[in-house]
Amino acid sequence: MEQLEAKVGARLSIYTGMLEYGHKDRMSTCHFYHAYPNGRLKLLDWEYEYAVALYSMEREEQYLYTYAYQENECWALFRKDSEVSRYQQEEFLFEEEGYFRVNVRRKDGKELDQSEAGHINQILSYCPGDQIPEESPKEVKEWLKEEIQDTVEKIRKGTEEGAEAFLLLTDSHYTVNGTWEDTISAIRKVIGQSNLSGIIHLGDLTDGMVSRQVTQDYVCKVKQDLMSFQLPFYLVMGNHDTNYFANNPDRFSKEEQYWLYQSDCCEGVIREGHALYYYRDMPSLATRVIFLHSFDEVQEMRYGFSEEEVLWFKKVLEELPSGYRVLVFSHVPPLPEIHFWNKNIRNGLCMVEILEGFLEKREGSVFGWVHGHNHADQVYLGRKFPIISLGCTKLEDFKDKKPEGAITPDRRPGTISQELWNVLLLQKDSNCLRFIRFGAGEDIKVEK
């Protein structure tokens, strides 16, 4: 039996399958549950009745090719033939694979309380049935295999030449019926055949538009997949990770973000208290890697860096060991000219000038600054060090709303262009940043 979770006061629209609030006589499952043929819903308490909303495996393409976020973070298509208004007590049998959610109400029509949602699994049970496909971690889709082998060979060549390799991805935006399972299966195969030194995610693990509990579950899903490789894992906070997007009131405080996203990973890093910025020294590369926090939704100027972080950044640079270089990661770019959404980056120019001033004192000491957020590739050389934007791991292909000079690769589901992530190669005796591209786009080599 699969455990269900329900929320009192919510029901599913008969027209859209979306959650609607303010209905004290209903409770609904907020998660989408995977349905398989011969799976069954069974009522256990006859004081209640339920209605089922069905969603097909078909994806709504507007979320791939336009700037749009599905408000319930699900790309499965709502089936208009769902009888969401038909409440029943008899057993429900699923005939095909897809997703479902359910509405529940009392037979007597009385209002529900939270304790009833707390024992939803004593009211209703879901048994997936006996037709769940067997999944093997050794099997990947055919169209991924050639790219996997090509990536493995490039990593091997780089590491044989003395480089260290890091899986690097950004803006995964996990969603139901998305492409994360394909992504992680390819990553699993590459890591299994390569010698990687760590994993870096530059933020926006989810869209941040649903309830705290659902977002937590999605975040934990992505993190657990990446942490299963037992490699050092470094996580940068993205703007969607605050769970604020589209005016979502169910947002996380900074302290809550620390505990959810960073408290159980980012081992061996140096930070002040529970600050969401930190650094890690990598002696084998003679490099200090700095991970910055670049968004605060409670500030009038949301994008950028706090005064405390600016002072910390300057201090961390000043204390850099002799012979070490610096590599900076953030989610949001530091300069407005390479950021479409807002032409004010709080303390962004200050951070760039601090790094440039440090570079003037210690020539050759800065690899560069790497960020996500723009959902596009760009190497910006307008400052004294390179600033590199990387395309998004999420399957997304729209060309507008990008900074001038940025490139958005074409993406198509079910082809290798569906995927987009990188393996970063760093070498102790080289100032070169090499990005091996998996999927859409090209390898990137930056040396300045």
Q: If we measure between CA atoms, which residue out of 98, 79, 101, 102 comes closest to residue 36?
A: 98
Q: What is the pLDDT of residues 171-230, one digit of tens each?
A: 999 999 999 999 999 999 999 999 999 999 999 999 999 999 999 999 999 999 999 999
Nearest to 191 by CA among 371, 441, 436, 423: 423
How many beta carbons lie within 10 A of that of residue 269, not counting itself?
17
Type of residue at 295: F
- The residue among 135, 227, 222 whose CA lies nearest residue 178 is 222
Residue at token pair 């605050």:
242
pLDDT band at residue 135 under the 50/70/90 scheme: low
DSSP string for residues in 27-59: EE--S-EEE-TT-EEEE--TTEEEEEEEEEEEE
Res. 137: pLDDT tops 60: no
Cα 2 to Cα 5, 14, 44, 164, 176, distances in angstroms: 10, 25, 14, 42, 17
**Residues 336-372 pLDDT 10s:** 999 999 889 999 999 999 999 999 999 989 999 999 9
What pLDDT band is residue 267 in, cutting at 50, 70 and 90? confident
Q: What angle do CA 236, 238, 239 make, to 5 degrees?
A: 155
Counting Cα atoms < 13 Å in the Cβ hemisphere of 335 gives: 18
pTM, 2 dp? 0.96
List all residues 6 or more positions away from 357 whose beta carbon is below 8 Å from its beta carbon.
none
Residues 350 and 356: beta-carbon distance below 8 Å: no
| pLDDT for residue 447 | 87
Using pLDDT thresholds of 50, 70 and 90, give the confidence band for residue 2.
confident
Q: Does position 63 have pLDDT exceeding 70, yes or no?
A: yes
**pLDDT of 319 higher than 80:** yes
Half-sphere exposure of 406 (CA within 13 A, CB side): 26
> What Rg do the C-alpha atoms of the chain give, in angstroms?
24
Average pLDDT over the chain, rounded to an integer = 95
- The pLDDT assigned to 134 comes to 60
3-state DSSP assignment of residue 117 = helix
Distance CA 334, CA 339 (A): 8
